[in-house]
Chains A and B, each alone.
Chain A
Amino acid sequence: MFQYTIRRLISTIPVLFGISLMLFFLLRALPGDPAQVIAGELATQQEVELIRQQLGLDEPVYVQYAKFLGRLVRFDLGISVRTQYPVIQEIAPRLLNTLILAVAATLLACLLGIPAGIVAAVKPYTTMDMVVTALALFGMSMPAFWLGLMLIIIFSVKLKLLPVGGSGGFVYLILPAVTLAASLVAVVARNTRSAMMEVLAQDYITTARSKGVREKMVILRHGLKNSFIPVITVIGLQFGTMLGGTVLTETVFAWPGLGRLLISSILARDYPVIQGAILIFALLFVLTNIVVDVLYAYFDPKVRYD
């Protein structure tokens, strides 16, 4: 298991290189002088010149990339054009907020989605199953930012139960987490249902029943762990989609996270922060995929021993 984790970590190195290459060219794809772009439109000639030297724009591209990589490894992501603070200082506190939101939404999605999927799979084509299936389709088709606005209208404007937005305690987390979780709940429920239905048709389920195992335990002891294997992969993939969704949800609820920082930086053309925020999002997603693979190995003994 430990070995497997290490091997999985090593296998991401090429992807990390690719990500750094893309971010490197992100700024260079912009029209105009990269130094000017990074320094911002209001920078003085001296500041631009300083950055030009830092980037080594006179040197060959591969030297520039090597320097860029060197700075990345030291977590030196440059200086924010807007605030003049190091980008990493801008990002760190917001990353924590985004993680809180994402983890809360994932937990919520699993707590609601997995039981709903099981219930639907155990009694397929009944009213209960139809309700779960229909709700899942609605959840998948609903734009999260609109759902967020509707929740604000209902719970903040009309019922005055929860704050419109901002941060500072659990009550501020509820609406953003529900909003972000909505499509994930739907995907988890749908996939748990289909995975569980497939598992329940397997021979070993008949074996378990023939042993005198209670139907409840057939599902929980023999079915659940097997059906987790495909569901985990989907949750991992959807986690990425959800990370993208944080930009919208955080904007709706004025949640001080990384997504809101990214969009405000895009609107202000603060490229060092844009680069940094996208890098962190990509790293977070890569890390999630590793966690998913390790969990996968935990649930599937075939992978573990390979």
Chain B
Amino acid sequence: MNSEQLLSIQDLKVRFKSFEGVVSAVDGVDLNIAPGETVGLVGESGCGKSVTALSILRLLPKRSTLMEGNIHFSGMNMLTADEEALLKIRGNSISMIFQEPMTSLNPVMTIGDQIAEVFVLHQNLTWNQGREKAVEMLERVQIPSPNARSRDYPHRLSGGMRQRAMIAMALSCQPTLLLADEPTTALDVTIQAQIMDLMLRLKEKLNTAILIITHDLGLIAETVSRVIVMYAGQIVEEAPVGDLFKEPLHPYTRGLMGSVPKLGQKFKGGPSQLDEIKGVVPSLLNLPAGCRFNPRCPLAIAKCREQTPGMVRIGRQRQVRCWLVGGAK
């Protein structure tokens, strides 16, 4: 199975050494992405989804991070790879788009230079050749008058334009995997659709696999083929997107869907009006015993408070981490 996967993560554990002790941000995550596939990673702030993405590229601070498990990309072990090998992968075969277009671009470097840098690093071009390529890339992401914009500093561009520039930068070397961490969260709703659309069209052309990280289920409903839901550092549900929306199995997933407004749609067994998940995300320093979701779960039983559920396979393509699902009652 490994050989046909582009990215394969097994039992990833990420812990941070902090002032108050060791915090477990990601706890036993398994995740596979096939070439050209589009996968959504969904969860609330602090559930470990961004940490997972950053650990793929090994971008977490070395001195304060403990990593365990396996991350294989195109047959290469990312966790044991040396810095030189990682430098060749970053921005080249795996690239990343971040949430905040306002702060993710270097304010004292022109847009063109920031894109050109990727070409200089990975394609052995000179800076001037890189700048020409940068203008081409800006044109591809449909930025008007790309030549002039390439000489602008980021603060002169709107949020949407900056995110287009980020996409241009990320796709410059035709990566096989794009990690998009909340790529549209900071943008206006109308711009959000445009940016998603642009990303997906370019993805089709380049046959790039995308991992879209978001807290917004609605955003990915029509774009991804598979959804992975994370809660408090663990995966709680994984399913093809159609199945998930037809019948969410984990109470948390149902809660997430209840939080998303939908026109004239009722969920089987779920709330029929816009609902919120009660309570707050637990502190990673002080996780509840048993199922991590139990304090907020409307269906929790005694067993949920005592024993930690494992991932249970449902059918061929689905998995869920819940005592109430899969006849385990």
Contact = CB atoms under 8 A, between A and B. Distances in A.
B196 interface: no
A252 to B, nearest CB: 41
Given A203-B104, A212-B88, A221-B117, 5 more contacts: A203-B100, A204-B103, A207-B96, A208-B117, A300-B108
The 8 closest A-B pairs by CB, nearest first: A211-B91, A212-B90, A212-B91, A301-B153, A203-B103, A210-B96, A204-B106, A203-B104
A213 interface: yes
A212 B121 contact: yes
Contact of B117 (A213, A215, A301): A213
A83 interface: no
B98 A206 contact: yes
A207 B90 contact: no
Task: Identify whether the interface residues of A are mostly helix, strand, loop, or mixed.
Answer: helix
B133 to A, nearest CB: 14
Contacts of A212: 86-92, 118, 121-122
Interface string A203-239: 1101111111111000001100110010000000000
Nearest to B110: A301
Interface in B201-251: none
A155 interface: no
Interface of A: 202-204, 206-215, 221-222, 225-226, 229, 299-302, 305
Contacts of A211: 90-91, 95, 117-118, 121, 169
A261 B156 CA distance: 51
B57 interface: yes
28 contacts: A202-B103, A203-B104, A204-B103, A204-B104, A204-B105, A206-B104, A207-B98, A207-B106, A209-B57, A210-B90, A211-B90, A211-B118, A211-B169, A212-B87, A212-B90, A212-B118, A213-B117, A215-B83, A221-B117, A225-B108, A225-B109, A229-B108, A300-B108, A301-B153, A301-B155, A302-B155, A305-B153, A305-B156
B87 A214 contact: yes
Nearest to A304: B153
Nearest to B166: A207
A215 B98 CA distance: 19
A222 B106 contact: yes
Task: Identify whether the interface residues of B are mostly helix, strand, loop, or mixed.
Answer: mixed
A275 B251 CA distance: 81
B107 interface: yes
A204 B107 contact: yes
B59 interface: yes
A209 B106 CA distance: 12
B166 to A, nearest CB: 8
Nearest to A208: B106
Contacts of A226: 106-108
B108 A299 contact: yes
B121 A301 contact: no
Contacts of B98: 203, 206-207
A126 B211 CA distance: 37
Contact of A210 (B88, B95, B122): B95
Nearest to A210: B96
B90 A209 contact: yes
Contact of B107 (A208, A214, A301): A301
Nearest to B153: A301
B127 to A, nearest CB: 11
A301 B106 CA distance: 11
Given A203-B98, A203-B100, A301-B155, A213 B108 contact: no
Nearest to B122: A212
Contacts of A300: 107-108
Nearest to A226: B108
Interface in B69-99: 83, 86-92, 95-96, 98
Contacts of A229: 108
B57 A213 contact: no
Contacts of A299: 108
Contacts of B118: 211-212
B55 to A, nearest CB: 12
B59 A210 contact: yes
A204 B54 CA distance: 14
A217 to B, nearest CB: 9
Nearest to B53: A210
B57 A210 contact: yes
Contacts of A202: 103
Contact of A207 (B89, B92, B105, B156): B105
Nearest to A299: B108
Interface string B254-297: 00000000000000000000000000000000000000000000
A53 B262 CA distance: 91
Contacts of A222: 106, 109
Contacts of B106: 204, 207-208, 222, 226
A155 B96 CA distance: 57
A213 B91 CA distance: 9
Given A212-B89, A212-B121, A301-B153, A207 B108 contact: no
A80 B328 CA distance: 101
A203 B95 CA distance: 15
Interface string B45-78: 0000000001001010000000000000000000
